[in-house]
Structure 1
Amino acid sequence: LETNHIETSYQLDRSVLQNVCSSQKAKSAALSFLPILTWLPYYPVKQYLFSDVVSGLSTGVVQLPQGLAYAMLAALPPVYGLYSSFYPVVLYTFFGTSRHISIGTFAVISLMIGGVVVREAPDSMFYVFPANGSNISVPVVNIEARDTRRVQLAVVLTTLVGIIQMVFGLLRFGFVAIYLTEPLVRGFTTAAAVHVVVSQLKYLLGVKTQRYAGPLSVVYSLKAVLLDIPNTNVTTILLGLACLVFLYGTKHINERFKNKLLIPIPGEIIVVIVSTGISYGLSLSDHYQVDVVGKIPSGLLPPSVPHFSLLPNLISDSFAVAIVGFSMGISLAKIFALKHGYSVDGNQELIALGLCNFISSFFQTFAITCSMSRSLVQESTGGKTQIAGLLGSLLVLLVVVAIGFVFQPLPQTVLAAIIMVNLLGMFKQFRDIPHLWRTSKIELVIWLVAFVASVLLGLDYGLLVALTFAILTVVYRTQSPKSSVLGHVAHTGLYCDVDEYEEVWRKYRAEYEGIKIFHFNSSIYFANSDLYVNTLKDKVTPPMQNSKIVSFLFTWIDIDIYIFY
Structure 2
Amino acid sequence: MWNQAWAWLRDTLPLLQWLPDYTTEALRGDATAGLTVGVMLIPQGMAYAVIAGVPPIYGLYAGLVPLLVYPLIGSSRHLALGPVSIDMLIIAAGVGAIAQAGTERYVALAILLTAMVGLLQMAMGAMKLGFVANLLSRPVIAGLTTAASFIIAISQIGSLLGVELGRSQYIHVLLIEAVQNAGNTHLLTLGIGTASIVLLMGLPRWLPKVPEALIVVVAGTLAGWGFGLREKGVSVVGSIPQGLPAPELWTLSFSDLNTLLPAAITLALVQFMKDISLDRIFAARHGYTIDANRELIGVGAGNFFGSLFQSIPASGSFSRSAVNEQSGAQTALANVFAAGVIALTLLFLTPLFYHLPTPVLAAIIIVSGFGLFDLRELRSLFKARRRDGYIALFTAGCTLFIGIQEGILLGIGTSVVAMLYRISRPNVAELGHVPGTRLFRDLDRFEQAARLRDIMVLRVDAAFSFANAEYFKDFILEKSEREGRPVKVVIVDGSSINGLDTTAIDALFSVTESLEEEGIELHLTGLIGPVREVVRRSGLHALLGENKFHLDPHQAVVSVLERWDAAEGTDRVTHYFNMADSEETEATPAAS
TM-score, structure 1 length as denominator?
Answer: 0.85
Look up the match of 1:271. 216
Structure 1 unaligned blocks of 5 or more = 1-18, 124-145, 258-263
> What per-residue deviation string (whole Å, max 9, x for no partner) do you get for residues 395-420 of structure 1?
11001011211111111111111122
Look up the match of 2:541. none
- Mapped pair 1:88 → 2:32: no
Q: 1:112 to 1:525 in 2, by over 3 A?
A: same
8 Å CA contact 2:435, 2:448 repeated in 1: no
**Counterpart amino acid of 1:171?**
M
> What SS class does the counterpart of residue 156 from structure 2 fall into?
helix
Look up the match of 1:559. 500
- Mapped pair 1:300 → 2:279: no
- Mapped pair 1:415 → 2:415: no
> What SS class does the counterpart of residue 551 from structure 1 fall into?
strand
* Within-5 A mapping of 1:279-294: 279-286=224-231, 288-294=232-238
Kindly indicate whether structure 1 or structure 2 has the higher relative contact order, using CA contacts under 8 Å at least 6 residues apart: 1
Identical-residue share of aligned pairs (%): 33
Q: 1:252 to 1:479 in 2, by over 3 A?
A: farther
- Mapped pair 1:492 → 2:437: yes
Moved over 6 A (4+): none
- Give the deviation of 1:150 after TM superposition: 1.2
8 Å CA contact 1:514, 1:546 repeated in 2: yes
> What SS class does the counterpart of residue 248 from structure 1 fall into?
helix
- Mapped pair 1:54 → 2:32: yes
- Give the deviation of 1:300 after TM superposition: 1.8
Match of 2:418 among 461, 464, 473: 473
Name whichever of 346-355 and 243-252 sits farther off: 243-252
> What per-residue deviation string (whole Å, max 9, x for no partner) do you get for residues 289-331 of structure 1?
1111111111123211101113221111111111111111111
Q: How far apart are the structure 1 equivalents of 2:79 and 2:444?
A: 49
* Within-5 A mapping of 1:433-448: 433-448=378-393
Look up the match of 2:202. 249
- Mapped pair 1:464 → 2:409: yes
8 Å CA contact 2:14, 2:72 repeated in 1: yes
Look up the match of 1:131. none
- Give the deviation of 1:120 after TM superposition: 1.4
Q: How far apart are the structure 1 equivalents of 2:190 and 2:129?
A: 47
* Within-5 A mapping of 1:71-150: 71-122=49-100, 146-150=102-106
Match of 2:310 among 339, 342, 364: 364
**Counterpart amino acid of 1:523?**
A
Match of 2:138 among 164, 167, 182: 182
Q: 1:342 to 1:522 in 2, by over 3 A?
A: same
- Give the deviation of 1:550 after TM superposition: 4.0
- Mapped pair 1:151 → 2:151: no
> What SS class does the counterpart of residue 459 from structure 2 fall into?
strand
Q: 1:230 to 1:512 in 2, by over 3 A?
A: closer
Q: How far apart are the structure 2 equivalents of 1:304 and 1:562?
A: 60
Look up the match of 2:462. 522
> What per-residue deviation string (whole Å, max 9, x for no partner) do you get for residues 32-77 of structure 1?
32111111111111x2222222211111110010111011111101
Q: How far apart are the structure 1 equivalents of 2:438 and 2:343?
A: 68
Q: How far apart are the structure 1 equivalents of 2:149 and 2:401?
A: 13
8 Å CA contact 2:240, 2:350 repeated in 1: yes
Look up the match of 1:504. 448
- Mapped pair 1:426 → 2:372: yes
> What per-residue deviation string (whole Å, max 9, x for no partner) do you get for residues 151-199 of structure 1?
1010111111111111111111100122212121011111011110111
8 Å CA contact 2:455, 2:487 repeated in 1: no
- Give the deviation of 1:498 after TM superposition: 1.4
Q: How far apart are the structure 2 equivalents of 1:107 and 1:148?
A: 22
Root-mean-square deviation over aligned CA pairs:
1.9
Look up the match of 2:13. 34
Look up the match of 2:342. 396
**Counterpart amino acid of 1:307?**
T
8 Å CA contact 2:428, 2:461 repeated in 1: yes
> What SS class does the counterpart of residue 281 from structure 2 fall into?
helix
Look up the match of 1:134. none
- Give the deviation of 1:481 after TM superposition: 1.0
Q: How far apart are the structure 2 equivalents of 1:546 and 1:369?
A: 61
Q: How far apart are the structure 1 equivalents of 2:403 and 2:152?
A: 11
**Counterpart amino acid of 2:198?**
V
- Give the deviation of 1:440 after TM superposition: 0.9
8 Å CA contact 1:484, 1:539 repeated in 2: no
- Give the deviation of 1:351 after TM superposition: 0.7
> What per-residue deviation string (whole Å, max 9, x for no partner) do you get for residues 474-493 of structure 1?
10110011111111211134
Look up the match of 1:260. none
> What SS class does the counterpart of residue 353 from structure 1 fall into?
helix
Q: 1:518 to 1:231 in 2, by over 3 A?
A: same
The count of residues paired between Structure 1 and Structure 2 equals 502
Larger Rg: 2
Structure 2 unaligned blocks of 5 or more = 510-592
- Mapped pair 1:342 → 2:288: yes
**Counterpart amino acid of 2:261?**
I
Look up the match of 1:135. none
**Counterpart amino acid of 1:103?**
L
Match of 1:379 among 325, 334, 340: 325
Q: How far apart are the structure 2 equivalents of 1:61 and 1:389?
A: 12
**Counterpart amino acid of 2:422?**
R
Look up the match of 1:173. 129
- Give the deviation of 1:345 after TM superposition: 0.7
- Give the deviation of 1:430 after TM superposition: 2.7
Look up the match of 2:147. 191
Match of 1:351 among 297, 304, 326: 297
**Counterpart amino acid of 2:124?**
F
- Give the deviation of 1:271 after TM superposition: 0.9
Q: How far apart are the structure 2 equivalents of 1:517 and 1:357?
A: 57
8 Å CA contact 2:148, 2:369 repeated in 1: no
Look up the match of 1:68. 46
**Counterpart amino acid of 1:107?**
S
Q: How far apart are the structure 1 equivalents of 2:382 and 2:31?
A: 45
Match of 1:482 among 409, 412, 427: 427
- Give the deviation of 1:212 after TM superposition: 2.1
Q: 1:521 to 1:282 in 2, by over 3 A?
A: same
Look up the match of 2:157. 201
- Give the deviation of 1:266 after TM superposition: 0.9
8 Å CA contact 2:461, 2:497 repeated in 1: yes
Q: How far apart are the structure 1 equivalents of 2:477 and 2:198?
A: 66
**Counterpart amino acid of 1:158?**
T
